[in-house]
């Protein structure tokens, strides 16, 4: 009996309809989903010319009988739902019955399908939506669909296809997603005859991840397992904080086996790394959320890559907390939130949780059977970024920058090309500006209790320091602060009449710059540096939606941006203080923040967001050695700011150890 039915109009009207064929990868997505829905255990994807010339997907799924093979190309013809109620609990990847119809209308399609290994199968040829031929053809159980000449009949669309390399990237990314979601299915992807990915049936996600990414990627992964099955279970892997990327490309998010691009999840993921990864740096993640089907609405987006959760906040909490506890059990953060925030300061980088932790992390690689490795296959490399802007060398910086720096830094204290650019990388992960927080500090100081018995050997007794080192009230600051030197090339050690001061150099500079930008924009635009070659920046759809409303503000701060076709923006100039390598991160951060706060946000807030983001990206980092003049310059400028003791994100800038407390500590009083 045939399985496919054309949906009645009243269901059709409830379906999030729209264009699904945007590029070869979107065609591949639909074909791969169909194969998975058909119960395939083997899936072979073959492409030529980035999928523009040819895209072929073969599966060994249930196949189709002749009537179905023809009906499949009708609009709203599906075997996956029959009633409107089915839309509330969708268990298949497809359900709209539109994909094959849409694809067939803009390409030449050949479909061969058979429901058994014996007997004749059916071959259907359809071009630009017109059925050309239907006849018998041999095919083992399963289906092969070949798409040729995408957009052959829509030249305007063909023009918008990107380069072969770009389209291939999207295809590979797409297939990688599905391969990760389905270890029980064997995947191969060939591009112009070259094998890009081969993943035999794997026993679980970790084996599949190993097949795809190789051993190195796995070494840094921490296992996530949290949430509740009534609302959402969160399982998978996230990277250790030292593994850092400047984009979310290495985040693979799935909801009930469906890959999604979901801001709620990616934001919650980042929140899990709060205080241990700075802005603009993202962890790698393979996260699988499982919810009861009625907890999630997948009928939101034509390409089905967005979902809506019935209990948004609960999902975000579950993701954040699951990630947080994965980081905690690997020793990167403390498991519970501290009740109070003691104003202590960590002793040295070496005792920070990030540096002392790895013993308890369970690297995946240990449990992977080396026989599963495929030596011939290159792992799909994820280039992780070096922790800092090490590429900010004099050679890459336009001369204008140096001049601009001079203007805003008359002492030359922060001139480019000096030691700021060649910081040692070794201990960075633990000394990231955002890495040291009250949480971490209190984690260390409270670890002397019994709960942390096993850690005690690794940690100095900080309980006494906790009482002594305090945040500094603005009123108590006096202008006679003298720098003595640096601690870990990150904190300035200084004295004043009342004792010792520790100044976090990154946040101090951040405060100085923030005040400068907030003062500047009222009168005249900030200085900018022209890029020798404009760089392009691809906006996400969400960023594109807010771009026009903030581009004017960004220009006030020294950006010169030009919207090119589609969602591409050319960056022609950047703020003078900003290292060129930070420009993209900053743009992305600002656009994401504005979007998160929704359009219509007050101008003032947008300006503050931009100023804070710019200050953070342009400020000197930790792990940079500073000369005494530079330290003096910084302290002097800091004292003239509106709030020398807190940074624009609310963290303390200065901590004090009073002479009195020192005397007490030595039992002199
Ligand atoms: P949907 O997947 O939303 O149902 P499609 O247009 O993608 O809509 O496919 C239409 C129908 O064709 C599916 O419901 C399914 O019954 C059938 N079909 C498509 N591809 C395959 C396949 N590879 N194997 C078996 N059946 C398929
Ligand atoms: Mg489908």
- pLDDT, tens digit (0-9, with 9 covering 90-100), for 166-207: 888 889 889 999 999 999 999 999 999 999 899 999 999 989
Q: pTM for this structure?
A: 0.55
Q: What is the spatial distance between Cα 104 and Cα 111, in angstroms, rounded to a whole number?
A: 10
What per-residue confidence (pLDDT) applies to 505? 95
Q: How confident is the model at residue 443 (pLDDT cuts 50, 70, 90)?
A: very low
Ligand 1: centre distance to CA 13 (Å)? 20
**Which tens digit of pLDDT belongs to each residue from 55-113?**
999 999 999 999 999 999 988 888 887 777 777 777 787 777 888 988 998 899 999 99
Burial class (CB in 10 A: 0-12, 13-18, 19+), 271: middle
Whether residue 581 contacts residue 617, with contact meaning beta carbons closer than 8 Å, is answered with no
**pLDDT at residue 273, as a whole number:** 84
Pick the atom of ligand 1 nearest to 33's CA.
2
| 3-state SS, residue 21 | coil
* Residue 34 Cβ contacting ligand 1 at under 6 Å: yes
pLDDT for residue 303: 65
pLDDT at 496 over 80: yes
160: confidence class by pLDDT, cuts 50, 70, 90:
confident
The pLDDT of 499-526, averaged and rounded, is 84
Contact 634, 492 (CB under 8 A): yes
How many residues can be counted in the chain?
Answer: 669
- The candidate with the shortest Cα–Cα distance to 43, out of 23, 29, 54, is 29
Most confident of 328-342, 383-397, 408-422, 556-570: 556-570
pLDDT of residue 10: 67
238-247, 481-490, 555-564, 608-617 — which is least confidently predicted?
Answer: 238-247
Q: Which whole number is the average pLDDT over 28-33?
A: 94
pLDDT at 410: 40
pLDDT class for 580, splitting at 50, 70, 90? Answer: confident
251-255 and 285-290: which strand pairing? parallel
Give the ligand at the shortest distance from the Cα of 11: 1
- 20 pLDDT band, cuts 50/70/90, is low
Say which ligand is closest to the CA of 57: 1
pLDDT of residue 455: 28
Q: What are phi and psi of 355, to 5 degrees?
A: -85, -25
Ligand 2 mean position, distance from CA 205 (Å): 24
Q: What is the pLDDT of residues 517-557, one digit of tens each?
A: 878 755 667 788 888 888 888 888 888 888 888 888 898 88
What confidence score (pLDDT) does residue 598 get? 55
Q: In the prediction, which pLDDT does 380 show?
A: 44
Best of 15, 26, 37 for a ligand 1 pocket test (most atoms within 8 Å of beta carbon):
37
Strands (E), 439-583: 469-471, 482-487, 491-496, 499-504, 528-538, 560-563, 568-575
> Could you give the domains of the chain?
9-199 (3.30.565.10), 220-329 (3.30.230.10), 394-455 (no CATH), 463-669 (3.30.1540.20)
Tell me if 38 CB under 6 Å of ligand 1: yes
Is the CB–ligand 1 distance for residue 503 below 6 Å? no
Structure confidence at residue 83 (pLDDT): 78
Task: Write down the pLDDT at residue 188.
Answer: 96
> Which range has the worst mean pLDDT, 12-26, 147-161, 451-465, 469-483?
451-465
pLDDT tier, 484 (very low <50, low <70, confident <90, very high otherwise): very high
Taking residues 597-607, what's their average pLDDT?
Answer: 65
Tell me the helices (H) and strands (E) count for the chain, helix number first.
21, 25
Which residues make beta-bridge pairs with 137?
121
| Three-state DSSP state, 280 | coil
Q: Which has more confidence, 401 or 102?
A: 102
- Percent of the chain exceeding pLDDT 90 equals 32
pLDDT at 451: 32
Residue 359's region, left for phi above 0, alpha for psi from -120 to 50, else beta, is alpha
SS3 509: helix
Helix (H, G, I), strand (E, B), or coil: what is residue 525?
coil
Identify the CA nearest to 174 among candidates 4, 43, 292. 43
Distance, in Å, from the CA atom of 546 to the CA atom of 280, rounded to the nearest integer, reads: 18
Model confidence at 399, pLDDT cuts 50, 70, 90, reads very low
- Identify whether the C-beta of residue 459 lies closer than 8 Å to the C-beta of residue 448: yes
Q: What is the rounded distance in angstroms from the CA atom of residue 455 to the CA atom of residue 438?
A: 19
Residue-level pLDDT at 21: 82
Query: Which H helix or E strand runs over 259?
Result: strand 258-259
pLDDT value at residue 15: 57
Instruction: Look at residue 528 in the predicted model and tell me its pLDDT.
Output: 85
SS3 619: coil
Identify which has the larger pLDDT, 27 or 580.
Answer: 27
95 lines ligand 1 (CB under 6 A): yes
**Pairing label, strands 568-575, 42-48:** unpaired
**Strand (E) positions, 266-353?**
285-290, 296-297, 308-309
In this prediction, residue 332 carries a pLDDT of: 73
144 C-alpha to center of ligand 2: Å?
14
Closest ligand to the CA of 115: 1
Q: Is the pLDDT of residue 357 over 50?
A: no
Q: How confident is the model at residue 12 (pLDDT cuts 50, 70, 90)?
A: low
What would the mean pLDDT of 366-375 be, rounded to a whole number? 37
Calpha distance 434→650 (Å, rounded): 12
3-state SS, residue 563 = strand
Pocket test for ligand 1, best of 18, 69, 72, 99 (most atoms within 8 A of CB): 72
Helices 205-213 and 164-181: crossing angle in degrees, nearest 10, is: 160
Which atom from ligand 1 is nearest to the alpha carbon of 57? Answer: 23
Cα of 300 from ligand 1 centre, angstroms: 20
Average pLDDT, the chain: 76
78 lines ligand 1 (CB under 6 A): yes
Helix (H) or strand (E) holding 316: helix 312-329
Helix, coil or strand: residue 462: coil
Minimum mean pLDDT among 86-90, 397-401, 619-623: which range? 397-401
Angle at the Cα of 317 from the Cα atoms of 311 and 321, rounded to 5 degrees: 150
CA 284 to chain centre: 7
H or E stretch covering 405: helix 399-408
Distance from the CA of 28 to the center of ligand 2, in angstroms?
10
Residue range 206-235, pLDDT digits in tens: 899 888 887 777 777 899 999 988 889 999
Q: How far apart are CA 499 and CA 481, in angstroms?
A: 10
Is the four-CA dihedral 336, 340, 341, 345 of positive or negative sign? negative
Atom of ligand 1 nearest to the CA of 61: 24
Residue 27: pLDDT band by 50, 70, 90 thresholds?
A: very high
Q: What are phi and psi of 323, to 5 degrees?
A: -65, -45
Find the 86 Cα to ligand 1 centroid distance in Å.
Answer: 16
Helices 541-556 & 603-618 angle (0-180, nearest 10): 80
Instruction: For residue 48, report the distance from its CA to the centre of ligand 2, in Å.
Output: 22
Lowest mean pLDDT among 252-261, 395-404, 524-533, 579-588: 395-404
pLDDT at 368 over 50: no
CA of 97 to the centre of ligand 1 (A): 7
Pocket flag, ligand 1, residue 35 (CB < 6 Å): yes
Top-confidence residue, 527 or 452? 527
pLDDT band at 597 (very low <50, low <70, confident <90, very high): low
Task: Report which bound ligand comes closest to the CA of 100.
Answer: 1
Residue among 78, 106, 303, 304 to mutate when testing ligand 1 (max atoms within 8 A of CB): 78
| Average pLDDT of span 152-168 | 85
The Cα–Cα gap between 45 and 327 comes to: 37
The answer to whether the CB of 188 is under 6 A from ligand 1 is no
CA of 93 to the centre of ligand 2 (A): 7
Phi, psi of 146, rounded to the nearest 5 degrees? -115, 125
With cut-offs at 50, 70 and 90, classify the pLDDT of residue 419. very low
Residue 287 has pLDDT above 90, yes or no: yes
CA gap 398, 393 in Å, rounded = 10
Q: What's the pLDDT score for residue 371? A: 37
Provide the pLDDT for residue 607: 81
List C-alpha distances in Å: 347 to 339, 343, 490, 666. 21, 13, 12, 18
Residue nearest to atom 1 of ligand 1 (CA): 97
Residue nearest to atom 20 of ligand 1 (CA): 34
The answer to whether 45 and 28 are in contact (CB under 8 A) is yes
Closest by CA position to 121, among listed 170, 185, 63, 193: 63
pLDDT of 492: 96
What span, in angstroms and rounded, lies between the C-alpha atoms of 554 and 571? Answer: 11
Question: Once rounded to an integer, what is the mean pLDDT over residues 609-631?
Answer: 89
| More confidently predicted of 116 and 461 | 116
Q: Whose CA is nearest to atom 21 of ligand 1?
A: 34
Note the ligand closest to the C-alpha atom of 3.
1
Which residue's C-alpha comes closest to atom 12 of ligand 1? 72
297 burial (CB, 10 Å; 0-12 / 13-18 / 19+) is middle
SS3 call for 145: strand
Per-residue pLDDT at 14: 64
Of 560, 603, 606, the residue nearest 583 (C-alpha): 560
At 595 the pLDDT is 65
């Amino acid at each position: 009996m045939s399985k496919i039915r054309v949906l009645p109009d009243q269901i059709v009207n409830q379906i999030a309809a729209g264009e699904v064929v945007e590029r070869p990868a979107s065609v591949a997505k639909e074909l791969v989903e169909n194969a998975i829905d058909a119960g395939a255990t083997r899936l072979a994807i073959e492409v030529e010319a980035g999928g523009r010339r040819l895209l072929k997907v073969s599966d060994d799924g249930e196949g189709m009988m002749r009537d179905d093979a023809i009906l499949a190309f009708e609009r709203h013809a599906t075997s996956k739902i029959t009633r409107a109620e089915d839309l509330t609990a969708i268990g298949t990847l497809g359900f709209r019955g539109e994909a094959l119809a849409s694809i067939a209308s803009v390409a030449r399609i050949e479909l061969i399908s058979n429901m058994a290994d014996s007997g004749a199968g059916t071959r259907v040829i359809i071009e630009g939506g017109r059925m050309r031929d239907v006849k018998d053809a041999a095919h083992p159980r399963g289906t092969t669909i070949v798409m040729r000449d995408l957009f052959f009949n829509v030249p305007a669309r063909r023009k918008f296809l990107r380069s072969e390399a770009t389209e291939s990237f999207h295809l590979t990314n797409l297939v990688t997603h599905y391969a990760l979601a389905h270890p029980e299915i064997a995947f191969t992807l060939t591009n112009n005859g070259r094998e890009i990915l081969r993943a035999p049936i794997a026993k679980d996600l970790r084996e599949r991840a190993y097949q795809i990414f190789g051993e190195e990627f796995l070494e840094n992964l921490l296992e996530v397992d949290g949430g509740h099955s009534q609302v959402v279970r969160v399982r998978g892997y996230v990277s250790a904080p030292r593994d850092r990327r400047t984009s979310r490309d290495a985040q693979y998010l799935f909801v009930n086996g469906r890959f999604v691009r979901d801001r709620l999840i990616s934001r919650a993921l980042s929140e899990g790394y709060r205080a241990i990864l700075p802005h603009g740096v993202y962890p790698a993640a393979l996260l699988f959320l499982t919810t009861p089907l009625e907890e999630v609405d997948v009928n939101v987006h034509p390409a089905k890559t967005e979902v809506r959760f019935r209990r948004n906040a609960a999902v975000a909490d579950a993701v954040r907390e699951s990630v947080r506890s994965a980081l905690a059990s690997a020793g990167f953060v403390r498991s519970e939130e501290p009740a109070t925030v003691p104003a202590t300061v960590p002793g040295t980088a070496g005792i920070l949780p990030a540096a002392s932790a790895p013993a308890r992390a369970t690297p995946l690689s240990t449990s992977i059977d080396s026989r599963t490795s495929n030596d011939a296959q290159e792992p799909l490399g994820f280039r992780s970024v070096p922790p800092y802007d090490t590429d900010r060398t004099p050679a890459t910086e336009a001369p204008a920058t140096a001049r601009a720096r001079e203007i805003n830094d008359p002492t030359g204290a922060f001139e480019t090309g000096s030691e700021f650019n060649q910081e040692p990388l070794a201990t960075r992960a633990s000394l990231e500006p955002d890495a040291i927080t009250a949480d971490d500090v209190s984690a260390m100081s409270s670890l002397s209790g019994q709960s942390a018995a096993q850690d005690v050997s690794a940690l100095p007794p900080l309980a006494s320091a906790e009482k002594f080192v305090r945040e500094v009230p603005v009123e108590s600051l006096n202008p006679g602060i003298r720098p003595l030197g640096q601690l870990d090339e990150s904190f300035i050690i200084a004295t004043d009449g009342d004792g010792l001061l520790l100044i976090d150099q990154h946040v101090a500079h951040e405060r100085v710059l923030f005040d400068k930008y907030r003062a500047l924009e009222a009168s005249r635009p900030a200085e900018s540096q022209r890029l020798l070659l404009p760089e392009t920046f691809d906006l996400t759809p969400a960023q594109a939606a807010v771009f026009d409303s903030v581009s004017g503000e960004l220009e006030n701060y020294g950006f010169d941006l030009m919207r090119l076709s589609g969602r591409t923006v050319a960056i022609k100039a950047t703020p003078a203080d900003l290292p060129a390598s930070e420009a993209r991160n900053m743009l992305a951060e600002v656009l994401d923040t504005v979007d998160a706060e929704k359009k219509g946000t007050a101008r003032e807030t947008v300006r503050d967001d931009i100023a804070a983001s710019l200050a953070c990206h342009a400020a000197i980092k930790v792990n940079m050695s500073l000369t005494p003049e530079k330290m003096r310059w910084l302290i002097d400028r800091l004292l003239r700011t509106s709030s020398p003791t807190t940074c624009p994100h609310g963290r303390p800038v200065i901590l004090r150890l009073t002479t009195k407390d020192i005397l007490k500590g030595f039992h002199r009083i």
